[in-house]
Protein backbone atom coordinates (compact mmCIF):
# COMPACT_ATOMS: atom_id res chain seq x y z
CA UNK A 1 0.00 0.00 0.00
CA UNK A 2 1.28 3.47 -0.91
CA UNK A 3 2.41 5.48 2.09
CA UNK A 4 1.49 9.15 2.34
CA UNK A 5 3.63 9.60 5.46
CA UNK A 6 6.65 7.57 6.55
CA UNK A 7 8.35 8.12 9.90
CA UNK A 8 11.82 6.63 9.64
CA UNK A 9 14.82 5.82 11.84
CA UNK A 10 12.87 6.08 15.08
CA UNK A 11 15.18 5.79 18.07
CA UNK A 12 12.43 4.24 20.19
CA UNK A 13 9.02 3.18 18.90
CA UNK A 14 6.42 2.22 21.54
CA UNK A 15 3.32 0.96 19.71
CA UNK A 16 1.43 -0.09 22.89
CA UNK A 17 -0.08 -3.05 21.06
CA UNK A 18 -2.62 -5.55 22.34
CA UNK A 19 -6.33 -6.28 22.08
CA UNK A 20 -8.72 -4.72 24.55
CA UNK A 21 -7.66 -2.75 27.62
CA UNK A 22 -4.38 -4.14 28.93
CA UNK A 23 -4.24 -5.43 32.50
CA UNK A 24 -1.85 -7.26 34.80
CA UNK A 25 1.29 -8.46 33.04
CA UNK A 26 -0.03 -7.22 29.69
CA UNK A 27 -0.02 -3.68 31.06
CA UNK A 28 3.31 -4.13 32.82
CA UNK A 29 5.49 -5.79 30.15
CA UNK A 30 7.23 -3.20 27.94
CA UNK A 31 7.22 -3.60 24.17
CA UNK A 32 9.76 -1.23 22.65
CA UNK A 33 11.26 -1.29 19.16
CA UNK A 34 14.64 0.28 18.44
CA UNK A 35 15.23 1.75 14.99
CA UNK A 36 11.61 1.30 13.96
CA UNK A 37 9.33 3.00 11.46
CA UNK A 38 5.68 3.91 10.94
CA UNK A 39 3.88 4.06 7.59
CA UNK A 40 0.57 5.89 7.15
CA UNK A 41 -1.92 6.00 4.30
CA UNK A 42 -4.64 8.61 4.55
CA UNK A 43 -5.83 8.59 8.15
CA UNK A 44 -4.81 4.98 8.87
CA UNK A 45 -1.67 3.18 9.98
CA UNK A 46 -0.31 0.75 7.39
CA UNK A 47 2.36 -0.68 9.66
CA UNK A 48 4.41 0.20 12.74
CA UNK A 49 7.39 -1.84 13.82
CA UNK A 50 10.84 -2.86 12.65
CA UNK A 51 11.89 -0.87 9.61
CA UNK A 52 12.35 -3.85 7.28
CA UNK A 53 8.95 -5.26 8.15
CA UNK A 54 7.24 -1.90 7.63
CA UNK A 55 8.89 -1.44 4.21
CA UNK A 56 7.46 -4.80 3.14
CA UNK A 57 3.95 -3.48 3.82
CA UNK A 58 4.32 0.11 2.59
CA UNK A 59 5.30 1.55 -0.78
CA UNK A 60 7.47 4.64 -0.51
CA UNK A 61 7.15 6.97 -3.52
CA UNK A 62 8.35 10.42 -4.49
CA UNK A 63 5.10 11.80 -3.06
CA UNK A 64 5.58 10.23 0.37
CA UNK A 65 6.37 12.69 3.14
CA UNK A 66 9.32 11.24 5.04
CA UNK A 67 10.13 12.34 8.58
CA UNK A 68 13.54 11.50 9.98
CA UNK A 69 12.96 10.60 13.63
CA UNK A 70 16.58 9.90 14.52
CA UNK A 71 17.04 10.32 18.27
CA UNK A 72 13.27 10.65 18.75
CA UNK A 73 10.56 8.55 20.38
CA UNK A 74 7.21 7.77 18.76
CA UNK A 75 4.17 6.83 20.84
CA UNK A 76 0.38 6.86 20.35
CA UNK A 77 -1.37 10.16 20.97
CA UNK A 78 -2.44 10.70 24.57
CA UNK A 79 -6.08 10.02 25.44
CA UNK A 80 -7.58 11.93 28.39
CA UNK A 81 -10.71 10.04 29.55
CA UNK A 82 -11.85 12.35 32.36
CA UNK A 83 -12.07 16.13 32.02
CA UNK A 84 -14.37 18.93 33.15
CA UNK A 85 -13.13 21.16 30.34
CA UNK A 86 -16.26 23.29 29.85
CA UNK A 87 -16.84 25.93 32.51
CA UNK A 88 -17.07 29.62 33.21
CA UNK A 89 -15.24 31.65 35.81
CA UNK A 90 -12.15 30.80 37.82
CA UNK A 91 -11.45 29.57 41.34
CA UNK A 92 -7.85 30.59 41.87
CA UNK A 93 -8.91 32.25 45.10
CA UNK A 94 -9.73 28.80 46.52
CA UNK A 95 -6.16 27.73 45.84
CA UNK A 96 -4.88 30.63 47.91
CA UNK A 97 -7.34 29.77 50.67
CA UNK A 98 -6.14 26.15 50.76
CA UNK A 99 -2.54 27.32 51.01
CA UNK A 100 -3.56 29.29 54.10
CA UNK A 101 -5.04 26.14 55.63
CA UNK A 102 -8.70 26.85 54.94
CA UNK A 103 -10.69 23.61 54.89
CA UNK A 104 -12.99 22.50 52.08
CA UNK A 105 -16.07 23.03 54.26
CA UNK A 106 -14.89 26.52 55.14
CA UNK A 107 -14.40 27.26 51.44
CA UNK A 108 -17.94 26.05 50.77
CA UNK A 109 -19.26 28.45 53.41
CA UNK A 110 -17.45 31.27 51.60
CA UNK A 111 -19.29 30.38 48.40
CA UNK A 112 -16.66 28.14 46.83
CA UNK A 113 -16.77 24.62 45.49
CA UNK A 114 -18.68 23.20 42.53
CA UNK A 115 -21.61 25.56 42.99
CA UNK A 116 -19.29 28.56 42.55
CA UNK A 117 -18.44 27.29 39.05
CA UNK A 118 -22.12 26.52 38.44
CA UNK A 119 -23.02 30.15 39.15
CA UNK A 120 -20.22 31.41 36.90
CA UNK A 121 -21.06 29.01 34.09
CA UNK A 122 -24.76 29.82 34.15
CA UNK A 123 -23.96 33.54 33.87
CA UNK A 124 -21.50 33.14 30.96
CA UNK A 125 -22.92 33.31 27.43
CA UNK A 126 -22.54 30.54 24.85
CA UNK A 127 -19.90 32.32 22.80
CA UNK A 128 -17.59 32.93 25.72
CA UNK A 129 -17.99 29.37 26.99
CA UNK A 130 -17.23 27.99 23.53
CA UNK A 131 -14.18 30.24 23.12
CA UNK A 132 -12.83 29.10 26.48
CA UNK A 133 -13.38 25.46 25.59
CA UNK A 134 -11.68 25.79 22.21
CA UNK A 135 -8.69 27.52 23.83
CA UNK A 136 -8.32 24.64 26.29
CA UNK A 137 -8.61 22.09 23.48
CA UNK A 138 -5.75 23.80 21.62
CA UNK A 139 -3.61 23.70 24.76
CA UNK A 140 -4.29 19.99 25.12
CA UNK A 141 -3.40 19.35 21.48
CA UNK A 142 0.00 21.00 21.85
CA UNK A 143 0.61 18.80 24.90
CA UNK A 144 -0.13 15.68 22.85
CA UNK A 145 -3.75 14.88 23.73
CA UNK A 146 -5.36 13.69 20.51
CA UNK A 147 -8.59 12.28 21.99
CA UNK A 148 -10.49 13.07 25.18
CA UNK A 149 -13.72 13.08 27.13
CA UNK A 150 -15.57 16.25 28.14
CA UNK A 151 -18.18 16.28 30.91
CA UNK A 152 -21.02 18.65 31.56
CA UNK A 153 -21.82 19.16 35.23
CA UNK A 154 -21.61 22.91 35.78
CA UNK A 155 -25.15 23.59 34.64
CA UNK A 156 -27.11 21.37 37.05
CA UNK A 157 -30.53 22.15 35.60
CA UNK A 158 -32.33 20.72 32.62
CA UNK A 159 -31.94 23.87 30.57
CA UNK A 160 -28.30 24.52 31.51
CA UNK A 161 -27.09 20.94 31.08
CA UNK A 162 -28.71 20.85 27.64
CA UNK A 163 -26.99 24.16 26.81
CA UNK A 164 -23.61 22.71 27.76
CA UNK A 165 -24.21 19.63 25.62
CA UNK A 166 -24.96 21.87 22.65
CA UNK A 167 -21.77 23.85 23.22
CA UNK A 168 -19.72 20.64 23.34
CA UNK A 169 -21.37 19.56 20.09
CA UNK A 170 -20.23 22.82 18.46
CA UNK A 171 -16.72 22.30 19.81
CA UNK A 172 -16.64 18.75 18.39
CA UNK A 173 -17.38 20.11 14.91
CA UNK A 174 -14.42 22.52 15.18
CA UNK A 175 -11.86 20.54 17.13
CA UNK A 176 -9.12 18.40 15.63
CA UNK A 177 -9.47 15.93 18.50
CA UNK A 178 -11.94 13.08 18.91
CA UNK A 179 -14.26 13.96 21.78
CA UNK A 180 -16.48 11.68 23.87
CA UNK A 181 -19.32 13.46 25.70
CA UNK A 182 -20.47 12.69 29.23
CA UNK A 183 -23.60 13.99 30.93
CA UNK A 184 -22.71 14.79 34.54
CA UNK A 185 -25.94 16.36 35.68
CA UNK A 186 -25.38 14.39 38.89
CA UNK A 187 -22.23 16.34 39.77
CA UNK A 188 -23.77 17.95 42.85
CA UNK A 189 -27.16 18.92 44.22
CA UNK A 190 -27.68 22.49 42.97
CA UNK A 191 -28.32 25.11 45.60
CA UNK A 192 -31.93 25.68 44.55
CA UNK A 193 -32.67 21.99 45.19
CA UNK A 194 -30.92 21.83 48.56
CA UNK A 195 -34.23 21.17 50.33
CA UNK A 196 -35.68 19.17 47.43
CA UNK A 197 -32.97 16.58 46.91
CA UNK A 198 -35.25 13.74 45.86
CA UNK A 199 -36.86 15.98 43.25
CA UNK A 200 -33.49 16.69 41.62
CA UNK A 201 -32.53 13.00 41.58
CA UNK A 202 -35.84 12.26 39.87
CA UNK A 203 -35.19 15.03 37.31
CA UNK A 204 -31.76 13.60 36.59
CA UNK A 205 -33.02 10.01 36.32
CA UNK A 206 -36.01 11.03 34.23
CA UNK A 207 -36.36 14.01 31.95
CA UNK A 208 -32.68 14.95 31.83
CA UNK A 209 -31.66 11.51 30.61
CA UNK A 210 -34.45 11.54 28.05
CA UNK A 211 -33.53 14.94 26.64
CA UNK A 212 -29.79 14.19 26.44
CA UNK A 213 -30.20 11.01 24.39
CA UNK A 214 -28.17 11.27 21.20
CA UNK A 215 -26.11 14.14 22.60
CA UNK A 216 -24.11 12.32 25.29
CA UNK A 217 -22.22 9.04 25.04
CA UNK A 218 -21.98 8.45 28.79
CA UNK A 219 -23.72 9.30 32.04
CA UNK A 220 -21.58 9.92 35.12
CA UNK A 221 -22.59 10.28 38.77
CA UNK A 222 -20.48 11.71 41.58
CA UNK A 223 -21.20 9.08 44.23
CA UNK A 224 -19.39 9.83 47.46
CA UNK A 225 -19.61 11.35 50.89
CA UNK A 226 -21.34 14.70 50.56
CA UNK A 227 -22.37 13.97 46.97
CA UNK A 228 -24.88 11.38 45.69
CA UNK A 229 -25.61 8.27 47.70
CA UNK A 230 -25.29 4.69 46.51
CA UNK A 231 -29.07 4.41 46.16
CA UNK A 232 -29.38 7.70 44.26
CA UNK A 233 -26.52 6.84 41.91
CA UNK A 234 -27.92 3.37 41.29
CA UNK A 235 -31.32 4.80 40.36
CA UNK A 236 -29.82 7.25 37.86
CA UNK A 237 -27.35 4.82 36.32
CA UNK A 238 -29.75 1.88 36.01
CA UNK A 239 -32.10 4.03 33.94
CA UNK A 240 -29.19 5.45 31.95
CA UNK A 241 -28.10 1.92 31.12
CA UNK A 242 -31.60 1.02 29.92
CA UNK A 243 -31.52 4.05 27.62
CA UNK A 244 -28.22 2.90 26.08
CA UNK A 245 -25.75 5.27 27.71
CA UNK A 246 -22.31 4.07 28.75
CA UNK A 247 -21.97 4.27 32.52
CA UNK A 248 -19.29 6.04 34.56
CA UNK A 249 -18.83 6.95 38.22
CA UNK A 250 -16.85 9.38 40.29
CA UNK A 251 -16.22 6.62 42.85
CA UNK A 252 -14.71 6.40 46.34
CA UNK A 253 -12.70 9.62 46.07
CA UNK A 254 -13.38 11.05 49.51
CA UNK A 255 -14.39 7.90 51.38
CA UNK A 256 -15.23 4.25 50.85
CA UNK A 257 -18.78 4.81 49.61
CA UNK A 258 -19.42 1.61 47.61
CA UNK A 259 -18.69 3.38 44.33
CA UNK A 260 -16.43 0.64 43.00
CA UNK A 261 -19.06 -1.91 44.02
CA UNK A 262 -21.78 -0.13 42.06
CA UNK A 263 -19.50 0.25 39.04
CA UNK A 264 -18.82 -3.48 39.06
CA UNK A 265 -22.44 -4.44 39.66
CA UNK A 266 -23.69 -2.34 36.74
CA UNK A 267 -20.79 -3.16 34.41
CA UNK A 268 -19.72 0.48 34.15
CA UNK A 269 -17.23 1.38 31.45
CA UNK A 270 -15.09 3.07 34.07
CA UNK A 271 -14.90 3.99 37.74
CA UNK A 272 -12.83 7.13 38.34
CA UNK A 273 -10.76 8.42 41.28
CA UNK A 274 -10.92 5.23 43.45
CA UNK A 275 -8.83 6.53 46.33
CA UNK A 276 -10.75 4.43 48.87
CA UNK A 277 -12.20 1.39 47.05
CA UNK A 278 -13.44 -1.65 48.97
CA UNK A 279 -12.04 -5.11 48.33
CA UNK A 280 -15.48 -6.24 47.22
CA UNK A 281 -15.68 -3.32 44.84
CA UNK A 282 -12.36 -4.12 43.23
CA UNK A 283 -13.30 -7.75 42.75
CA UNK A 284 -16.58 -6.76 41.11
CA UNK A 285 -14.72 -4.33 38.84
CA UNK A 286 -12.26 -7.04 37.86
CA UNK A 287 -15.08 -9.41 36.94
CA UNK A 288 -16.97 -6.79 34.94
CA UNK A 289 -13.92 -5.48 33.07
CA UNK A 290 -14.49 -1.96 34.36
CA UNK A 291 -11.50 0.31 33.72
CA UNK A 292 -10.02 2.07 36.77
CA UNK A 293 -9.39 5.70 35.76
CA UNK A 294 -6.96 7.20 38.27
CA UNK A 295 -6.53 10.94 38.80
CA UNK A 296 -3.31 11.61 40.72
CA UNK A 297 -3.28 15.25 39.68
CA UNK A 298 -6.26 15.96 41.92
CA UNK A 299 -4.65 14.42 45.00
CA UNK A 300 -1.42 16.28 44.22
CA UNK A 301 -3.12 19.63 43.70
CA UNK A 302 -5.19 19.29 46.87
CA UNK A 303 -2.15 18.13 48.86
CA UNK A 304 -4.14 15.38 50.58
CA UNK A 305 -1.44 12.71 50.19
CA UNK A 306 -4.08 9.98 49.68
CA UNK A 307 -3.47 8.35 46.32
CA UNK A 308 -5.35 5.47 44.72
CA UNK A 309 -3.80 2.00 45.37
CA UNK A 310 -2.70 1.55 41.76
CA UNK A 311 -0.40 -1.39 42.38
CA UNK A 312 -3.30 -3.35 43.85
CA UNK A 313 -5.29 -2.76 40.67
CA UNK A 314 -2.39 -3.96 38.53
CA UNK A 315 -1.83 -7.03 40.71
CA UNK A 316 -5.54 -7.92 40.56
CA UNK A 317 -5.66 -7.64 36.79
CA UNK A 318 -7.85 -4.54 36.65
CA UNK A 319 -6.98 -2.33 33.65
CA UNK A 320 -5.67 1.03 34.82
CA UNK A 321 -6.07 4.29 32.92
CA UNK A 322 -4.96 7.81 33.78
CA UNK A 323 -6.63 11.18 33.23
CA UNK A 324 -6.03 14.82 34.11
CA UNK A 325 -9.41 15.54 35.75
CA UNK A 326 -8.90 19.08 34.43
CA UNK A 327 -11.32 21.37 36.26
CA UNK A 328 -11.21 24.90 37.70
CA UNK A 329 -11.38 23.96 41.36
CA UNK A 330 -9.36 20.88 42.27
CA UNK A 331 -7.05 20.16 39.32
CA UNK A 332 -6.31 22.75 36.62
CA UNK A 333 -3.64 20.46 35.08
CA UNK A 334 -3.76 20.05 31.27
CA UNK A 335 -0.83 17.75 30.57
CA UNK A 336 -1.15 13.96 30.39
CA UNK A 337 2.66 13.83 30.51
CA UNK A 338 2.59 15.51 33.90
CA UNK A 339 -0.03 13.01 35.04
CA UNK A 340 2.30 10.21 33.94
CA UNK A 341 5.05 11.79 36.02
CA UNK A 342 2.80 11.99 39.07
CA UNK A 343 1.62 8.41 38.64
CA UNK A 344 5.17 7.09 38.50
CA UNK A 345 6.20 9.08 41.56
CA UNK A 346 3.10 8.70 43.75
CA UNK A 347 1.05 5.77 42.44
CA UNK A 348 3.98 3.43 41.99
CA UNK A 349 3.34 2.75 38.31
CA UNK A 350 6.27 2.01 36.02
CA UNK A 351 6.81 4.39 33.10
CA UNK A 352 5.46 1.75 30.71
CA UNK A 353 2.38 1.02 32.82
CA UNK A 354 1.68 4.74 32.94
CA UNK A 355 2.06 5.08 29.16
CA UNK A 356 -0.37 2.21 28.58
CA UNK A 357 -2.73 3.89 31.06
CA UNK A 358 -2.56 7.14 29.08
CA UNK A 359 -3.11 5.65 25.63
CA UNK A 360 -4.83 2.34 24.90
CA UNK A 361 -6.46 1.86 28.33
CA UNK A 362 -7.60 5.48 28.41
CA UNK A 363 -9.10 4.98 24.95
CA UNK A 364 -11.05 1.95 26.16
CA UNK A 365 -12.29 4.00 29.13
CA UNK A 366 -14.23 6.13 26.61
CA UNK A 367 -14.98 3.27 24.18
CA UNK A 368 -12.68 4.37 21.35
CA UNK A 369 -9.99 1.74 21.91
CA UNK A 370 -10.90 -0.07 18.70
CA UNK A 371 -9.89 2.92 16.59
CA UNK A 372 -7.12 4.70 18.53
CA UNK A 373 -4.79 4.42 21.51
CA UNK A 374 -2.18 2.15 19.91
CA UNK A 375 -0.16 2.02 16.70
CA UNK A 376 -1.70 -1.10 15.19
CA UNK A 377 -2.28 -1.59 11.44
CA UNK A 378 -5.67 -0.30 10.38
CA UNK A 379 -6.09 2.00 13.35
CA UNK A 380 -6.45 5.74 13.14
CA UNK A 381 -3.05 7.38 12.73
CA UNK A 382 -2.92 9.36 15.99
CA UNK A 383 0.65 9.62 17.26
CA UNK A 384 3.31 11.81 18.78
CA UNK A 385 6.97 12.36 17.97
CA UNK A 386 8.81 13.21 21.17
CA UNK A 387 12.05 15.15 21.51
CA UNK A 388 13.57 12.36 23.57
CA UNK A 389 15.43 9.12 22.88
CA UNK A 390 13.22 7.09 25.23
CA UNK A 391 9.61 7.16 26.44
CA UNK A 392 11.00 7.02 29.99
CA UNK A 393 11.86 10.69 29.55
CA UNK A 394 8.14 11.52 29.84
CA UNK A 395 8.22 11.13 33.64
CA UNK A 396 11.99 11.65 33.86
CA UNK A 397 11.84 15.19 32.41
CA UNK A 398 8.82 16.09 34.50
CA UNK A 399 7.30 19.44 33.58
CA UNK A 400 8.81 19.78 30.08
CA UNK A 401 6.64 19.32 27.03
CA UNK A 402 8.55 16.76 24.96
CA UNK A 403 5.97 16.77 22.17
CA UNK A 404 7.67 17.87 18.97
CA UNK A 405 5.04 16.77 16.43
CA UNK A 406 1.37 15.84 16.79
CA UNK A 407 -0.15 13.69 14.05
CA UNK A 408 -3.94 13.29 14.07
CA UNK A 409 -5.71 11.11 11.51
CA UNK A 410 -2.53 10.98 9.47
CA UNK A 411 -2.01 14.76 9.30
CA UNK A 412 0.55 16.90 11.11
CA UNK A 413 -1.66 19.17 13.17
CA UNK A 414 0.98 20.75 15.38
CA UNK A 415 4.76 20.92 15.32
CA UNK A 416 7.45 22.91 17.07
CA UNK A 417 8.78 23.68 13.60
CA UNK A 418 5.46 25.27 12.64
CA UNK A 419 3.69 26.10 15.93
CA UNK A 420 0.96 28.12 14.21
Q: Of the ranges 80-84, 107-111, 330-334, which one carries the lowest mean pLDDT score? A: 107-111
When the pLDDT of each residue in the chain is averaged and rounded to a whole number, the result is 96
| Mean pLDDT, residues 93-109 taken together | 85
pLDDT at 419: 64
The fraction of the chain above a pLDDT of 90, given in percent, is 92
Task: Tell me: pLDDT of 4 over 70.
Answer: yes
Mean pLDDT along residues 152-169: 98
Which pLDDT does position 109 carry in this prediction?
A: 80
Contact (Cβ atoms closer than 8 angstroms) between residue 364 and residue 149? no
Q: State the pLDDT at residue 19.
A: 84
pLDDT at 104 over 80: no
Q: What is the pLDDT of residue 417?
A: 83
* pLDDT score for 318: 98
- What is the rounded CA–CA span in Å between residue 141 and residue 143? 5
**For residue 420, is pLDDT > 70?**
no
Backbone angles phi, psi at 331, to 5 degrees: -170, 85
Exposure letters 212-237 (e unless 16+ CB within 10 A, then b): beebbbbbbbbbbeebbbeebbbbbb
pTM of the model: 0.97
Is 292:361 a contact under the CB 8 Å cutoff? Answer: no
Greater confidence (292 vs 304) lies with 292
Longest dimension (CA), the chain: 70
How far is Cα 410 from Cα 412, in angstroms, rounded to an integer?
Answer: 7
Amino acid sequence: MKADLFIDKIEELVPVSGEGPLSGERQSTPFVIKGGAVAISGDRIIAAGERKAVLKEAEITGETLIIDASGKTVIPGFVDPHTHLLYGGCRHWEYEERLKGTTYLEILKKGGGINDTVRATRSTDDGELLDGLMKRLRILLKLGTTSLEIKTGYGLSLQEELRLLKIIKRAKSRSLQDIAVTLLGAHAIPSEYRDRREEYVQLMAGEMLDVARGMADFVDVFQDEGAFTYEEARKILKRAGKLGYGLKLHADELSSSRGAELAGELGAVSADHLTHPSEKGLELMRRSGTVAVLLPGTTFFLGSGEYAPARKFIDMGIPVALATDHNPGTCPIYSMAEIIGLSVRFLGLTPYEALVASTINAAHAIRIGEKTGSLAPGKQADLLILDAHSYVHIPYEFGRNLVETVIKKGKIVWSTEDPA
